[in-house]
Structure 1
Amino acid sequence: MYKAGHYGAALFVYAPVGFALLSVDPAFAVLGGVGSVALSRVPDYDLRVPFLEHRGITHTLPFLVAVAVLLGAVGYRAAGAFGTDPARTAGLGVIVALVAVGSHLLADALTPAGVPLLWPLSGRDYSVDVATASNPVANYGLLALGVAACGAAGYLAGSV
C-alpha cells in the first residue's frame, strides 16, 4: 500500500483503542492516534537503507516486537519529562508501535506481494491478494474507512 492506505489502516486499527482511551485519558487517546498514524510508514524505511530488502525484515513480527519494546522503553523514560506515570506512558508507546507497525503489515498483506510475517522461522510471504499496492481505490478506500472508524469511535465515546 501507499501512504494514504497506510494512514487509513492505522486509523482503522486504532479506532477501537482510541475509543477505549477516550474514556480514560482523552489526551493519551489523541496522542496515541497521532503517533500511530505518524509511525505507520516506519516499515517502509527499508526503502531508504541500501542493504535492506523492501518487505524484508521490517515487515515481520520480530520487527513489530522490537519497535514495541523500543517505544515502550522510550515512553517509560519520557514519563518524567511529562509528569506522567511511567507504566502508562510505556504502555502507550507499546500500543502506538503495535498499531502503527501492525496495521502496516496488515495493509501490505492485502497486496499480492504479501509480507514475510514469520521470518526467520518461515520464508513464506503472507498475502490475501485483494489489491495491488498502487491501487488508488484500495488506498483511498482504506483512508476513508479509517477516518470513518475514528469518527464513529469519537462520536460513540461522546455518547457513552
Structure 2
Amino acid sequence: MYRRGHWGVSLLVFAPVGFALLWLGRPDLAFVGGGAMLWLSTLPDVDHRLPGISHRGPTHTLAFALLVGAVGAGAGAGLAAVLGGGRTTLIAFGFGIGTLGILAHLLADALTPAGVPFLWPLSGRDFSVYLTRADNTLANYALLAVGVCATAAAGVAALRVV
C-alpha cells in the first residue's frame, strides 16, 4: 500500500485500542498512541533507502515488529524515569504500540499480491490475501476513510460510555 493506505489501516487497527484507553480514563495515552501509530505506519518502508536490504524483506516481518516493540518499551521506561510513576503501564504501552504499529503496516501490505514475509527468517513464504494492488489510488483512499471513520466512531463511543 501507499502512505494513505498505511495511515488508514493503522487507524483502523488502533480504533479499538483508542476506545479502550479512553474508556479506562487515559485520553493522554489514546492521543499519544494514535499519533505513534501514524508515525510508525510507514517505518517498514525505510528499506527503500537502505542499501543491501530488499523491499518487503526483514523490515516487513514479525521479528521487526517485536524489535520496534522492544524499542517502544525502552522509550516507555525512559519516559517513566523522567515523569515518575506508571513504569509498568508505560513499558507495556510502548511495547504494544510499537509492535501494533508495525503489524498494521504488515496487514496493509498483506492486502496486496506481493504480500509480506511475516515469519522470516523461519520461513521465506510471503503471506497475501490478493485483495488489491499497492498502487490502487481508490483502495488507498478507501482504507484511509475507513480508518478515520473507525477511529472517530471509537472516540465518540468511548466518550458516550464514560
Cα deviation for residue 6 of structure 1 reads: 0.4
C-alpha offsets along residues 63-90 of structure 1, whole Å, 9 cap, x if unaligned? 1111111111121122122334111111
Question: How many percent identity over aligned positions?
Answer: 49
Q: Tell me if the contact between 2:65 and 2:100 (Cα under 8 Å) persists in the aligned partners.
A: no
Aligned to 1:90: 91
Distance 1:149 1:85 in 2: 29
Aligned to 1:130: 131
Q: Tell me if the contact between 1:32 and 1:95 (Cα under 8 Å) persists in the aligned partners.
A: no
Distance 1:16 1:110 in 2: 21
RMSD of aligned residue pairs (Cα, Å): 0.9
Aligned to 2:74: 73
Aligned to 2:121: 120
Aligned to 1:60: 61
Aligned to 2:47: 46
Ranges in structure 1 where 5+ consecutive residues have no aligned partner: none
2:11 is matched by which residue type in structure 1?
A: L
Q: Tell me if the contact between 1:55 and 1:115 (Cα under 8 Å) persists in the aligned partners.
A: yes
Distance 2:40 2:85 in 1: 22
- TM-score where L is the length of structure 2: 0.95
Runs of 4+ in structure 1 off by over 6 angstroms are none
Three-state SS of the structure 1 residue aligned to 2:53 is: coil
Ranges in structure 2 where 5+ consecutive residues have no aligned partner: none
Count of aligned positions: 160
C-alpha offsets along residues 123-145 of structure 1, whole Å, 9 cap, x if unaligned? 11111010010101111111000
